[in-house]
Structure 1
Amino acid sequence: MTSNPFPRLTGSADVSVRPARAGDAAAIARVQGVTWRTAYRTLLPAAVLDEWDEAAVADSWLAAVTAPPSAGHRVLVAVEREAVVGFAAVATGPEAAEISTLLVEPRWGRRGHGSRLLAAVTDLASADGTTRLEVWLAESDQASADFYESAGWAPDGWARTLDTGSAPLRELRWHVELGEEDTDR
Structure 2
Amino acid sequence: MSDQLALFDKVRPEPEGLRYAADFVSPAIEQELILGIQTLPLQPFQFGEFEGKRRVASFGFRYDYDFHQLKRAEPIPAWLAEIVANVEMFVGPATRIQQVLCTEYGVGVGIGWHRDKPHFDEIFGLSLGSACKFRFRKRSGKTWDRFKIDAEPRSIYMMTGASRQIWEHSVPAVEAPRYSITFRTMTNGPDLRTPA
TM bucket (normalised to shorter chain) is under 0.3
Task: Give the TM-score, by structure 2 length.
Answer: 0.27
Structure having the higher helix fraction is 1
Task: Give the TM-score, by structure 1 length.
Answer: 0.28
